[in-house]
Chains A and B, each alone.
Chain A
Amino acid sequence: MSVESLFPRLEPLLPTVGKPIQYVGGELNATTKPWESAEVRWALMYPDAYEVGLPNQGVQILYEVLNERDWILAERTYAVFSDMEKVMRDNDIPQFTVDAHRPVRAFDLLGVSFSTELGYTNFLTALDLADIPLHAVDRGDDDPIVLAGGHSAFNPEPVADFLDAAVLGDGEEIVLAISEVVREWKAEGRPGGRDEVLLRLAKSGGVYVPKFYDVTYLPDGRIQRVVPNRPGVPWRVAKHTLMDLDSWPYPKNPLVPLAETVHERFSVEIFRGCTRGCRFCQAGMITRPVRERSIEGIGAMVQNGLDKTGFEEVGLLSLSSADHTEIAEVAKQLGDRYEGTNTSLSLPSTRVDAFNITLANEFSRNGRRSGLTFAPEGGSERLRKVINKMVTEDDLIATVAAAYSHGWRQVKLYFMCGLPTETDDDVMQIGELAKRVIQTGREVSGRNDIRCTVSIGGFVPKPHTPFQWASQLDHVTTDDRLKKLRDAVRADRKYGKAIGFRYHDGQPGIIEGLLSRGDRRVGRIIEAVWRDGGRFDGWSEHFSYDRWATQTEIALADEPVDLDWFTVREREYAEVLPWDHLDAGLDRDWLWEDWQDSLNPDGALEVEDCRWTPCFDCGVCPQMDTEIQIGPTGKTLLPLSVV
């Protein structure tokens, strides 16, 4: 079967939609291959608009890893905006890839990258536009295998009905392994059809096939058990961990879009994983252990990336970049290397200590000192202990003092509202902290024009974290606490004007909570919301809480559970959680103890970082057969090769 490009049919329609460039592809470093040349074909999707999805590293890496094999072809597809959705429906144009504009349904696999749960409705739009049945059980042999990956795939249960399979963890090696299985099955003439290939994938132990597991419920609505319903399917499915980042220097050929995107820079992942042990942080828990890229590897990737893209900015990416064992050398040497070239450097960091300032100074060496961001996350010291973010108020004040005295004028502080055990007072402390910050800043800089922006996000308990059992704060209380805080800050004559205040209201967080800790019954809600017009839930202008709340009520009318049950209800130790059969390596009892430690009435117990203390037995390394890989290597960045 040959597959024709949909572009000739699409082209005359493009002038009628917004930002048509997002649908035409043609990016620098994009790959298109002849259809017939490949034995296995992947469509990779990021379920958000092109401008958000294109920069996603996960998709770019998998796209390249797959296309490097001459027997595999991979193309990309993104969520289309509603004007385009209408045009496509009116003209019978199916969901297409932007590379060669091939119909998604023609591919062997549709791999969807979920870094947030808020992409679920967009995913359904894509399936529907592609003419792929929404429910996995309705799919036939001509439909692609629909497979999810990314952080949200660590609890794929809410979308289980729509997925043929899901993969946990790093994707580089497993996508190749999956391709092998599909290739072999196709070469054999597709024996046993769709179920057979899914069974082969499931038996490998590294691919979760939801329909091979039956979920039963107790009369009160809790899960009774999750059991495999075919012989050979494992009880638990394990995550994948890539070791030795240096041998995986991707992306080697980063995509450079023509359209403007949210992230216009070349990013190098300087390490994966994080063991600081913040109890709210799913990313930190599910990506253990820490695996660093060496300073030489970083140097080579930065040079290659800049050469191949022409970007002006390099981001050194990870969960906490200031924690790389050789970050000081990396910063200094990159600064030396690119001095006077108009190339700028940035790194995401949440650390609240003087070292961060030293780094920031290095990164802005020849430049303007505008804004610095710190993430104490909790307003009071008590609460910071609860979440295991070990920062004292004095640390924080010393850090901002250092920042202001080095010429930084603006400090942004990031907090969460709704953390376990939180009271009004903990949140009001955020205001007190901000005032002290301004006061200190004025003292050390001798200036009055310094500012502090307080940015507050709602806490959403996530699977595979110590807070997975916690009750989520209801949105009324969240809004109420934030209002009290805002009023108090505004009312302050001396400092109020110097403090900026940014927050979101509590409602979207409740829906994120439903999607994060939901089980298979939540799939009905997602489908109902989507049928009712729900799209782009990550965009505040498109998100409708009322729609979600109403549809949840209708969809769960005959169940003993409701929206509150999924969100604000605290879970017990013995309750079977929807993701218990999915193995992130973390020992369940260790998580439970950590949860109990956080609640200790005499003050929460803190956990150290296993990079610089002995292992505290979270379970990951023995379970996954992995180890911490960190420096220092004592090496230097590779010198620039002379052209």
Chain B
Amino acid sequence: MTTLEGTPNPEAPNPQLPIVQKLRIQYAKRGRLRFTSHRDFARAFERAVRRAGIPIGHSSGFTPHPKISYANASPTGAASEAEYLEIGMTQPCDPEQVRGALDSALPDGLDIVEVVIAAPGTFADRLEASSWQIALPGVSLEHAEAVTKAFLAADEVLIERIMKRGPRTIDCRAAVVALSARLDDANSEPCAILAVVVRHVTPSVRPDDVLAGLRSSGGLELKQTPIATRLAQGPLDSETGTVGDPLVFDRDAS
């Protein structure tokens, strides 16, 4: 197949409309669509914006990009109730209408939870920690409690993580603010559920790292593939070890 290519806009003077409003968006990755990678999501979201006819701003220059900034995306395979992004608008819009329009333009399983008008300030700074739930199908509560205890008792739990430049040893203990286990009663088979609050540090400590730490420090034995779900991310209350709602400032401001 041969193609004649035409690329949009670029060289021609391309004055883009100014941004008049910023919206912050909380979205969820649910069910089978938890397997979308961050890049997959970004493509789907841009298409949803176009389908929904949202007046989004574009960068000027050679290839204009829609003004979307993502904060701290969860790893592929993890479900999430609390992912965030920000978009720049060329016309002020009602946040609830934008929520509805985007949600129906996205496939089921990629769901828009809430849209608010952004108050000033850097949003990323508010995302201090994440609260994760990790289901461990086939693992008994006793076992889960034992490994949790061993992990919490340690000052440092070193694990190996494959990074772009090869394997690297990191401590996954320090970032864990809270960790507890309970039993999933909805399930007929035993299934322990871990609740873990992790501070956002660099390099980040992800659910897989915590599980690796539980293996090395307490001898966690997995029966099946665990499923991690991010329940919240936001400001950390270090006294209670809980994660707050990062949009509360924006809601209050408007």
- Which residues from chain A sit less than 8 Å from chain B, CB to CB? 7, 11-16, 20-21, 23-28, 256, 258-260, 264, 306-312, 340, 342-350, 356, 359-360, 363-368, 370-375, 412, 414, 643
Contacts and interface: CB of A to CB of B under 8 A. Distances in A.
A360 B4 contact: yes
B193 to A, nearest CB: 16
B204 interface: no
Contacts of B18: none
A14 B47 contact: no
Given A27-B107, A366-B12, A373 B33 contact: no
B32 A346 contact: no
Interface stretch (B50-58, B86-94, B113-121, B235-243): B50-58
Contact of B2 (A364, A414, A643): A414
Contacts of B6: 344-346, 360, 363-365, 367
A11 B79 CA distance: 13
B47 A367 contact: no
Given A26-B108, A342-B9, A348 B49 contact: no
A367 B3 contact: no
Given A348-B1, A412-B2, A258 B7 contact: no
A7 B105 CA distance: 25
A308 B8 contact: no
Most buried by A among B10, B53, B105, B108: B10
Contacts of B36: 21, 258
Contacts of A259: 40
B225 interface: yes
Given A310-B48, A364-B6, 18 more contacts: A12-B137, A12-B224, A20-B77, A23-B35, A25-B32, A26-B107, A27-B107, A28-B107, A258-B40, A258-B44, A258-B107, A310-B47, A343-B8, A344-B7, A346-B3, A348-B1, A363-B4, A368-B7
Nearest to B43: A260
Interface residues of B, number: 42
A11 B37 CA distance: 16
B33 A258 contact: yes
Contact of A15 (B77, B106, B137): B77
Interface in B31-86: 32-33, 35-37, 39-41, 43-44, 46-51, 53, 58, 62, 64, 76-77
Contacts of B5: 346, 363-364, 370-372
Contact of B58 (A28, A308, A342, A371): A342
Given A15-B77, A260-B39, A366 B2 contact: no
A347 B3 contact: yes
Interface of B: 1-12, 32-33, 35-37, 39-41, 43-44, 46-51, 53, 58, 62, 64, 76-77, 105-109, 137, 224-225
B35 A14 contact: yes
A256 B51 CA distance: 12
Contacts of B10: 366-368
A221 B65 CA distance: 62
B30 to A, nearest CB: 10
A375 B33 contact: no
B32 A26 contact: yes
13 contacts: A24-B35, A25-B32, A27-B107, A28-B47, A259-B40, A306-B50, A307-B51, A312-B50, A342-B9, A346-B4, A348-B1, A359-B4, A366-B12
A643 B12 contact: no
Nearest to A263: B1
Given A258-B44, A260-B43, A310-B51, A356 B105 contact: no
Given A12-B225, A643-B53, A21 B40 contact: yes
Contacts of A371: 5
Contacts of B41: 258
Contacts of A7: 32
B8 A24 contact: no
A310 B2 contact: no
A414 B2 CA distance: 8
A607 B135 CA distance: 70
Contacts of B224: 12
Nearest to A10: B32
B9 A26 contact: no
A100 to B, nearest CB: 11
A24 B2 contact: no
A7 B76 CA distance: 18
A9 to B, nearest CB: 11
B100 to A, nearest CB: 16
A374 B5 CA distance: 12
